[in-house]
Structure 1
Amino acid sequence: MSSVVCLHVPRFALAVAAAGRRELLGVPLALAPQPGGGHRIGEVSPAAEVSGVRAGQQLGEALARCPRLVLLPPDPVAVEARWERIVERLEGIGAAVEVGSADATAGTAWLDADLIRRMHGGTLEGVLGAIRTTLGQPVRLGVAPTRFLARVAAARARARHAVVVVDRPLSAVPSPAGEALAQGVALRAVLDEEPVATLALREDLAGLVAPLERLGITTLGRLASLSRGAVLERFGAPGLTAHELLHGHEAPLRPREPPTVIAADLRLPEAVSGPQLRHALGLLIDRVLADPQRRHRPLRALRLQAALVERGTWQERVVLREAMTDPQRIGLALGLRLDGLPAPAERLGLRVEALGAPVPQDRSLLEEDVEIRRERLREAVRQARAAAGPDAALRVVEVDPGSRIGERRMALTPFEG
């Protein structure tokens, strides 16, 4: 059974926005609404939660509940940069890290401890100690057989103690400093104590919380004790997914590939206007296209970033309709997003998120049409996954044709061109 380690930094974006200002300790804080994202606040501090403020609330409701609430401008660029440094440090100890999709919230990552156990003393405690040493900051660590259970364990952990979820109780293991490095807990005990609202850690299962609570299923243990058929009949595919998660059935980790960093930034003069912004954008596009790391590959997805004059940052991810290298067409696609800049900017940046594959030049005359169609299909799949995630292109496979349950007759698997 694998040992999946979940590293969780609570309120990561809020901590980056606060920038270590000690005068904000104990003050009710919240991230101001994102520009163009409605009037809902972001992460909130514990002092704000005491007053009934929750992340995702309408700004007016949050201020009505807590008039002393201090709003901090979000800084997504700094959040991304700091989280990237944390992930690179984890990769520096040999770990293959999964960080989720490009639009996932920073602050949570997963790795397989079994792959690097021999590099750090051959024990799980050695791996956890290496993680804490290389990061040098308080983090919550949870260990379990699957990704979801490890995330639940990390939510129960504290800065100095990792929670290890196993099938049987595990005694605390002392570290060389004499402190308990890992605290063992049985899986059944975790499920019996965790509220069913924990399913909201996964966006695709958040809609199950309210129906389960109305039926009196208030803990994960009660949901896990139900039969698989009963859950499927009452709650459908989402309920079956939740039931399998609680029984330790989940897809293996998908570590990220080492990124190729292609980026450019430009400091802007004061009172820059629209035409000047477009000219600066054109310079950034030319610099990105001229980067030797691109190796003649077309651009598929880019991230437009700006540091605002009134503090805070802004960014927008743009997936091109097709991978291309034409600077004029790229400029047209990015220019539309540049019009949504919420405030004057003092710095403009452009970062490549994904690259396309170079089109092979040499084909035989008889195979050209077939190869062109196949390459177009593969390119469409890659483009869809860049825009909507790795599960955007799936293939339907017949598993049990004689079953009366639709979920058993067919299954979805990743499409391979």
Structure 2
Amino acid sequence: MLGALAALPAISTDVYLPSLPAVAEDLQASQAATQFTMSGMLIGAGVGQLVIGPFSDRYGRRLPLLIGISLHVVTSLLCSITPDIGTLIWLRVAQGFFNAAASVVAIAVIRDRFVGSEAARLLSRLMLVIGVAPLFAPTLGQAIAGAWQWRAVFYALALIRLLLVVVVWRFMPESLPPEQRRPGDPRQVAGGYAALLRDRHFMALAVIPGLGLAVIMSYVVGSPFVFQDRYGLSQGQFAAVFAINGAAIVGSAQLNAALVRRAAPVRVLRIAVVVQVCCALVLLCIVLTGFGGIVGLVAGLWLVLGTQGMIPANASVLALHHYGHMAGTAAAVIGALQSGVAGLVSPFVGLLGGGPVAMVCVMLAAAALTLLVLATGTPAYRAGGWRERDGMEPGPTTTATGTEEREAEQVQAQGPDQRS
């Protein structure tokens, strides 16, 4: 259920993705403006998470989730009747804002119950569900748009969210007991955010998932025009290519879930970031030389996206490790940076011309910034700079320290039914 909630942003993006050229033609919009209907949703999600995170720390996880996805149903219906591209952009921003509830709550619920390598493993499992969206959503979106045109895609999104409202209402337990909730005083909320912003280590780790999503979104917003306009693929062929690259993200996320059982998340993270930059450089050479044609392009993209599943989950777990007492607020900062950074970076694909070179250059820039942030903002590459406790080695030391250790012991003391 948490995986389905965490996948909502991906579903909102990927079902709509094959319709971008049709939207541009129908609403007489430019490629950059049409791509901003994707990026605008990310910016709205960034703002929404900053609001919803403290709200979930104050009132629990269920209430903000139910409100957010219910309002997402309304905005999806409004998107289906939009008269122009400007209105659609603003509605997509609103969609992102309300969709933020699902992203914040999914991460916060995991942090309410688990820490360390176990949390990293579970976040990687979430990536499995999130990664399924690129495998099937574009095909579904292409089928819906082909039968009833692009506006019908938003009716489908409204139906999916309505079903999730029912599922959450019926089956999702509250993971944050009343005695552990934080006061909702604006000054205390501001103080919590200020404490996080002052933590240079936390902020460096928190921005890494955003740069990772920028890599993905640069590919997402550029790929329909690159593969369909430049290489002449049909919508069905494009959906197949998109599924192949989606499988790379899913596979690496599951590999990460296995690796963190044997190695600290920080060890996996620092290797994956370097490998991704190297793969992005290879991809740029393929695009510039035309080596392998479309096969070479797909293979290079597969390698770059294949490392992505090992980056956000580990960075998020490391960032959240010492903030279990304000998991919703901390998850909101991570989510806001993730959506905001990706939303600001990905439009550069269209602004730079929208071709394969522009798409790959933006992907490479985001990957290189990830390496720079990890190297300068954390001690990940310094000998002895990362204490074992903070690196979260697998085994008994991965549970928690201090208050977090006591919380983990309480969870382990519960019976299987209570834990589930």
Give TM-score scaled by structure 2 length. 0.29
Relative contact order higher in (CA < 8 Å, ≥ 6 apart): 2
Higher strand share: 1
Higher helix share: 2
Q: Which has the larger radius of gyration?
A: 1
Give TM-score scaled by structure 1 length. 0.29
